[in-house]
Chain A
């Protein structure tokens, strides 16, 4: 009899010469929930009335905790100079710098994220990743994490044994200081590739309205959480 695991496996291995790279660890992104989310109240007073806070929104938390992340494995330091931001790290390695930049002309015409320097940086991540056949990985800036002092560019990579990856990013204007080890650099969402078709179905909106409970039930009785929401597992 053959054992078929219930879960899908994302295999990875860090370069053993770990110390020269500033990012080489994969974690479930649920392990990097930011402090500000934990501090949001469940109820807020709006114009004298108690209203549900952000913590009532299960889809928001699902966005924050969907998939995996690659974290910084050591502190890096950003300094602002007259020529733009300069990034420093612990150990110098000229042959394989863990962070490097490319001429901005290589992304000419591409809009830069607001309030970011137009210096085009890349994390050089020596991390081999293998996903099951038929799957792809969706990379994006950590969802709803705008407090981070950088913005990471998004992409989709298909199934192959990827030896290394470069992760383009932009630094916030005016940001100077340390970015700490453990900071999530990207959010990785594995997904099954399938053919899709969007179909306009007449009457669907009216049908949906019939099964939807009132706003009071939805909010006070956590209707979505109890009736719709499904647990997602990324270990």
Chain B
């Protein structure tokens, strides 16, 4: 019998924090899968329909008296679990004042750079602030370094579909170098007052290989894809996408 060793290569995302900056939370970078929100876990797979709700209908399965929820949608789950989370390493406190939100943190007596700073909103005019968030332009001052392999970049974005978080982080792409410190802009939700806890994901990091891309109109794609399309019954009731298309993604 021949022993075949799996030789799939693993890409390494190297990182480290300035230890003076890290207070309550040691691992500033964590796989997104470890910060899946409770609201997602609480979603049921099916919901009963109300009297006035439209019933889902498909030729292959007839009329259903319940709807599949977002828990049936693997692309949604993959979205919230792809890549890594950059997390808060200490609790911060947001207070609403007449001049807008003010953010406070504990002074631990160490000579360190503050975890948050701000910029006047006119520094980025006429860029609009997200609707539902204060115009004040804050910055996560992350005292840490993230280094992707050569030929790779990292997309830094607000944690996908995490509208429950009391802030919104601005997105950007950083190319491959050992960047000491990351200044990431964010906005505070209107009227939010309270603590944002250590461990909260402030950004989703998606490392990816840089490649040249071309989008091409191809006359065969529609007909070929039509053949590989699954009926609704298989898609919803039999987990067709999971069984036939979905691939496991590993971010450890």
A and B bind:
yes
By a beta-carbon cutoff of 8 Å, the part of chain A in contact with chain B is 5-16, 26-28, 36-37, 39-40, 44, 46, 51, 53-54, 57, 59-60, 62-63, 66-68, 102-103, 105-116, 128-130, 136, 138-140, 143-144, 146-147, 151, 153-164, 172, 189-205, 207-209, 211-212, 227-230, 232-235
Known: A11-B216, A68-B215, A234-B213. A111 touches B244 (CB 8 A): no
Q: Are A160 and B228 in contact (CB under 8 A)?
A: yes
A-B contact pairs, 14 of them (CB 8 A): A10-B213, A13-B219, A36-B126, A53-B124, A66-B173, A105-B67, A106-B70, A109-B40, A110-B70, A114-B130, A156-B78, A158-B247, A159-B245, A160-B228
Does B224 reach chain A (CB closer than 8 Å)? yes
Q: Are A13 and B211 in contact (CB under 8 A)?
A: no
A211 to B147, CA, bound (A): 13
A39 to B122, CA, bound (A): 13
Q: Which residue on B lies nearest to A6, using beta carbons?
A: B212
Does B3 reach chain A (CB closer than 8 Å)? no
Does B91 reach chain A (CB closer than 8 Å)? no
Among B12-20, B103-111, B193-201, the stretch that binds chain A is B12-20
A60 to B244, CA, bound (A): 37
Other A-B pairs beyond A27-B215, A105-B53, 11, CB < 8 Å:
A9-B216, A10-B214, A11-B217, A14-B222, A54-B123, A62-B172, A62-B175, A105-B47, A111-B163, A115-B132, A198-B84
Q: Are A63 and B145 in contact (CB under 8 A)?
A: no
Contact partner of B16 among A102, A202, A228, CB < 8 A?
Answer: A202
Contact partner of A46 among B10, B29, B123, B206, CB < 8 A?
Answer: B123
A60 to B111, CA, bound (A): 30
Q: Which residues of B contact A128 (CB under 8 A)?
A: 221-222, 224-226
Q: Are A59 and B172 in contact (CB under 8 A)?
A: yes
Q: Which residues of A contact B11 (CB under 8 A)?
A: 194-197
Known: A11-B216, A189-B155. A200 touches B222 (CB 8 A): no
Contact partner of A107 among B69, B124, B133, B143, CB < 8 A?
Answer: B69
B163-204 interface with A by 8 A CB criterion:
163-164, 170-180, 189-190
Q: Are B10 and A197 in contact (CB under 8 A)?
A: yes
Known: A105-B50, A108-B47, A235-B213. A199 touches B67 (CB 8 A): no
Q: Are B128 and A110 in contact (CB under 8 A)?
A: no
Q: Are B213 and A106 in contact (CB under 8 A)?
A: no
CB distance from B224 to the nearest CB of A (A): 5
Does B8 reach chain A (CB closer than 8 Å)? yes
Q: Are A163 and B228 in contact (CB under 8 A)?
A: yes
Q: Which residues of B contact A146 (CB under 8 A)?
A: 128-131
Q: Are B208 and A205 in contact (CB under 8 A)?
A: no
Q: Are B215 and A26 in contact (CB under 8 A)?
A: yes
